[in-house]
């Protein structure tokens, strides 16, 4: 063996001479690298999906609700002029208001009263600007329009989850019961990503709310957008409170930015990624200990071979290099297979969740390189042990 290439060939033969043992040694690096790549890749893919959502929907949407001091009837309400007051603020470019109508039961038909009377479907009066301001698409049909604001018109639009609960089919000519009154279904909303509480709701016009339920109070929720590029600041809370109340009694709860929940979810995912990546690193470390242990046993099992080679003139350095090369081969193979397995998990998982696949090449290379480093460190002790064996000692061990 006059070259490094010959040493590599001998190292490979030494590994494949006992394939079962080699596969067991490879499991540690494969599992560790796959766990690290999958944890980081899936988290980055989830974050990429969140970022794509934020880019599409914007981070300037704000919702406000009254405190219990704005009490009118059974639910807190804001002043009736809330919308017009917010529209006068220069940095606000779109406003819509909702009024929740409490105590109403939504049914697909009278016979379903027992099944649906405890289902928490909210009835909300809404204006024509809700979809544009909140950026909620229609699944089918249409949204409330000026025609529905005429007296006597009973039209309803269903939230995404409500349509599923009431088994309303796309395009179906259908009516539902709100309380004891029948309303024709004009359309169904798609999922409200930023305002998921609207998914289990039905929406009627303010005119219908006044005609059928004698509702004449102010809105229970206001939704608006700041101009593009602006976000809610801590010192905006008092300003918004003053705009809505005009210095009168009552107040609003701290405004909510729906995208904050998405960003918080991404931070939770990042924490989970760290935990899983640490578990992967632990598996890699345990795999390194397994490499050291199995290769140490291998040195004892191959002591006759080591003795013969020492007797014919092989140096200690050459023997140590051979065993170290075996560890390197284990690390390289384990790293490559583990990185490929982790990448496969990311691709399948992201496709299943309909995420944007984010898989950085440097992640794959870094995780594989880490496996090689762990394998080299783990192989040092067996390599040194093999190099220190004397020919006569190998006869005793053999």
- The per-residue pLDDT for range 271-318, each reduced to its tens digit, is 666 776 777 777 778 777 877 777 777 676 666 666 666 666 667 777
Q: 5-9, 291-295, 338-342: which has the minimum mean pLDDT?
A: 5-9
Question: Do the Cβ atoms of 204 and 123 come closer than 8 Å?
Answer: yes
CA-wise closest residue to 257 among 289, 234, 282, 287: 234
Q: How far apart are CA 171 and CA 141, in angstroms?
A: 7
Are 287 and 377 spatial neighbours (Cβ–Cβ below 8 Å)? no
pLDDT score, position 354: 81
The mean-pLDDT minimum among 41-55, 91-105, 109-123 falls in 41-55
Least confident of 259-263, 346-350, 392-396: 392-396
Query: Tokens for 382?
Result: 């067996």
Band the pLDDT of 70: cuts 50, 70, 90.
Answer: very low
Q: What is the pLDDT of residues 19-43, one digit of tens each?
A: 777 777 788 888 888 888 888 888 7
180 vs 388, residue with greater confidence: 180
What is the pLDDT confidence band of residue 129, given thresholds at 50, 70 and 90? very high
Provide the pLDDT confidence category of residue 57 given band limits of 50, 70 and 90: low
Residues 6+ apart with CB under 8 A from 271: none
Q: What is the pLDDT of residues 201-236, one digit of tens each?
A: 999 999 999 998 888 778 999 999 888 777 777 667
| Of residues 349, 348, 367, the one with CA closest to residue 30 | 367
Q: What is the pLDDT of residue 152?
A: 81
Global pTM reads 0.62
Separation of alpha carbons 220 and 66, rounded Å: 7
| Residue 199 token pair | 């998914």
For the CA atoms of the chain, what is the radius of gyration? 34
């Amino acid at each position: 063996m006059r070259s490094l290439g010959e040493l590599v060939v001998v190292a490979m033969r030494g590994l494949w001479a006992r394939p079962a043992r080699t596969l067991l040694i490879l499991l540690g690096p494969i599992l560790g690298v796959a766990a690290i790549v999958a944890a980081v890749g899936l988290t980055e893919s989830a974050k990429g999906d969140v970022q794509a959502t934020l880019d599409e929907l914007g981070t300037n949407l704000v919702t406000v609700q009254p405190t219990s001091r704005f009490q009118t009837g059974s639910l807190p309400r804001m002043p009736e002029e809330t919308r017009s007051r917010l529209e006068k603020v220069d940095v606000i470019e779109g406003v819509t208001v909702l009024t929740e109508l409490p105590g109403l039961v939504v049914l697909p038909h009278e016979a379903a009263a027992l099944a649906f009377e405890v289902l928490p479907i909210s009835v909300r009066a809404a204006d024509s600007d809700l979809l544009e301001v909140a950026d909620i698409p229609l699944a089918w049909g249409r949204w409330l329009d000026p025609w529905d604001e005429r007296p006597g018109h009973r039209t309803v639009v269903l939230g995404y989850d409500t349509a599923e609960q009431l088994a309303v089919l796309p395009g179906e000519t259908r009516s539902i019961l709100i309380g004891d009154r029948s309303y024709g279904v004009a359309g169904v909303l798609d999922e409200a990503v930023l305002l998921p509480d609207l998914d289990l709701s039905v929406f009627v016009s303010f005119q219908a709310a006044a005609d059928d339920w004698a509702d004449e109070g102010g809105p229970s929720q206001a939704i608006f957008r700041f101009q593009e590029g602006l976000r809610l600041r801590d010192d905006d809370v008092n300003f918004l409170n003053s705009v809505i109340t005009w210095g009168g009694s009552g107040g609003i709860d701290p405004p909510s930015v729906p995208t904050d929940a998405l960003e918080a979810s991404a931070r939770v995912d990042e924490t989970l990624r760290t935990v899983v990546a640490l578990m992967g690193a632990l598996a890699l470390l345990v795999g390194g200990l397994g490499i050291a242990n199995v290769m140490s046993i291998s040195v004892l099992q191959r002591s006759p071979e080591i003795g013969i080679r020492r007797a014919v003139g092989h140096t200690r350095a050459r023997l140590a290099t051979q065993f170290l090369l075996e560890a390197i081969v284990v690390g390289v193979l384990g790293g490559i297979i583990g990185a490929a397995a982790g990448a496969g998990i990311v691709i399948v998982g992201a496709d299943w969740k309909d995420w944007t696949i984010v898989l950085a090449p440097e992640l794959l290379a870094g995780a594989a390189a880490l496996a090689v480093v762990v394998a080299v460190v783990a192989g040092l002790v067996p390599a040194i042990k093999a190099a220190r064996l004397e020919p006569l000692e190998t006869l005793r061990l053999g």
